[in-house]
Amino acid sequence: MAIERSAAKRPNWSSGFAFIMATLGSAVGLGNIWRFPYVMGQNGGALFLLMYILLTIFICSVPLLCELLLGKQMRRGVIRSYEKINKKFSAFGWLCFITSIFIPCFYFVVGGWTVNYIFIYLFGTIPVNEISQATFETFAAQPVAPLIMGIIFLVLCAIFPFRGVNKGIEQANNIIMPLFIIMLFFLAVTGLFLPNSIEGLKFMFAPDFSKFTFTTVLTALGQALFTLSVGMGCLVTYGSYLKKDSDIIKSSGLLIIGNTIIAVLAGIMIFPAVFSFNLEPSAGAGLVFITLPKVFAALPFGQFFGLMFFVLLFFAALTSGISLLEVSIAAILEKFKISRKLATVIMSSIILVFMFPTTWSFGFLSGYKMFNMTFFEVMDFTASNILLPLNTIILCVVVGWILKPKMELLTNNKKFYDVFNFLLKFIVPPILILLMLFGLGLV
């Protein structure tokens, strides 16, 4: 294992395909399935989609490329990458490291819920037409069961970084992502054949100028950053396993296109079905754990479709979970010169400790609130509204003004490089500051 600690012998993705599958695996997660389609429907439909695409291309692609560049140039995890620019920047790396602990603390709890629903639909422990809102609420409020499910999810995520970049992370994504895409296509096409499916499509796509406000723009931007896994060093870490000659512009383009298509397909999978059975559309846990089980109850072969959907959701969360863990594992492995296996055990244990209070936020700790939020909500809010934008602002400033990335690592097109640099230095940071103030409720 000593090999991984020096840049020269750092593991490399064995192909461009492996890199795309890994970054797509990181990007495609709960954000695509339970948030994007609903937010799109709520914020002007096709107009929102257009805005989202423009913001992704002109704003989000900049920090995205920055993260990949930083990783590719430094060939280190997030802490050592910042330290290599300047010892004094160590804290910026640690801030990303902390973010990579915060997010799993709530994300993995939800991952555990998907495992529970897989068990329910697989073994039929509860008859399909009896799975209700109460099923979810009773389960989430228990002290032990959701914790066990969360631990199962954590262990399943940890196995892959534990085995290594090629034998673990790469293999998992190479198999799971194509499977995920096939299943998603299958379910989306099935959804379209349901009676009245057109209503669901109208909800998602019909352009509605009245719903389109300044808030919409900032919502689209926040969603785009989160869903592309920008802002905590995931892409620095995955980028650090790239070969020097890899084309990150092409990969980023494919990543952005793939991630957007998958988010739209997720909506096509969900909303026609929801409207077909006259249910109310919503987002988040309520949509997937309460509304959709009602759809499966009414559908022929509901148990089969339910199982397939929750396996799909589990795959999405798993591949994102792997990338979340890899950030902190890669960071401490080289910082403290320990083995990959030990780093995995340490990071999983730290996350596990925090998963107790986040899990219990739905049970006996639900009354304990800070700033009117449960512990689960505090972790989510701090990570999504403070840490992710803050890390992204720091990244743009440090890379744009101090590191000044070498042109040949990015492109050989001088014009493209100039536009990139201009956006990076002058446009993206102020917009991100605005986003952060908005997230904090200050604008």
> Residue with CB nearest ligand PHE?
29
3-state secondary structure the chain: CHHHHCHHHCCCCCCHHHHHHHHHHHHCCHHHHHHHHHHHHHCCCHHHHHHHHHHHHHHHHHHHHHHHHHHHHHCCCHHHHHHHHCHHHHHHHHHHHHHHHHHHHHHHHHHHHHHHHHHHHHHCCCCHHHCCHHHHHHHHHCCCHHHHHHHHHHHHHHHHHHHCHHHHHHHHHHHHHHHHHHHHHHHHHHHHCCCCHHHHHHHHHCCCHHHCCHHHHHHHHHHHHHHCCCCCCHHHHHHCCCCCCCCHHHHHHHHHHHHHHHHHHHHHHHHHHHHHCCCCCCCHHHHHHHHHHHHHHHCCCHHHHHHHHHHHHHHHHHHHHHHHHHHHHHHHHHHCCCCHHHHHHHHHHHHHHHHHHHHHCCCCCCCCCECCECHHHHHHHHHHHHHHHHHHHHHHHHHHHHHCCCHHHHCCCHHHHHHHHHHHHHHHHHHHHHHHHHHCCCC
What is the total count of residues that contact ligand PHE (CB under 6 A)?
A: 15
Indicate which single residue of 32, 114, 174, 291 sits in contact with ligand PHE (rule: CB under 6 A). Answer: 32
Taking the least distance from each CB to ligand PHE, the nearer of 26 and 174 is 26
Tokens 């529970």 correspond to 116
Decide if residue 105 touches ligand PHE (CB under 6 A).
no
Nearer to ligand PHE, 174 or 227 (CB): 227
Find the part of the chain contacting ligand PHE (CB under 6 A) among 69-77, 173-181, 318-326, 348-356.
Answer: 318-326
> Where does this chain touch ligand PHE (CB under 6 A) — which range of 317-325, 389-397, 400-408, 429-437?
317-325
Give least dist CB 228 to ligand PHE, A.
7
* Member of 21, 22, 24, 27 binding ligand PHE (CB under 6 A): 27
**32 or 291: CB nearest ligand PHE:** 32
Taking the complex as a whole, how short is the minimal distance between the CB of residue 323 and ligand PHE, in angstroms?
5
- Please give the single-letter amino acid code of residue 157: C
Per-residue binding string, ligand PHE, 204-243, x by CB under 6 A, is: ----------------------xx-x--x-x---------
Query: Quick check: 21 binds ligand PHE (CB under 6 A)?
Result: no
The pattern of x and - marking residues 64 through 103 that bind ligand PHE according to CB under 6 A reads: ---------------------------------------x
Q: Which is nearer to ligand PHE, 290 or 388 (CB)?
A: 388
Which positions from 324 to 343 touch ligand PHE by CB under 6 A, shown as an x/- string?
Answer: x-------------------
Q: Quick check: 105 and 358 in contact, CB under 8 A?
A: yes
- For residue 289, the minimal CB distance to ligand PHE (Å) is 16
Among 20, 21, 24, 30, binds ligand PHE (CB under 6 A): 30
Asked if 385 touches ligand PHE (CB under 6 A), the answer is: no
Q: Closest CB to ligand PHE among 110 and 194?
A: 110
> Considering only residues 20, 24, 31, 203, which one is a binding residue for ligand PHE as defined by CB under 6 A?
31
391 binds ligand PHE (CB under 6 A): no
Residues at the site binding ligand PHE, with contacts judged by CB under 6 A: 26-27, 29-32, 103, 226-227, 229, 232, 234, 320, 323-324
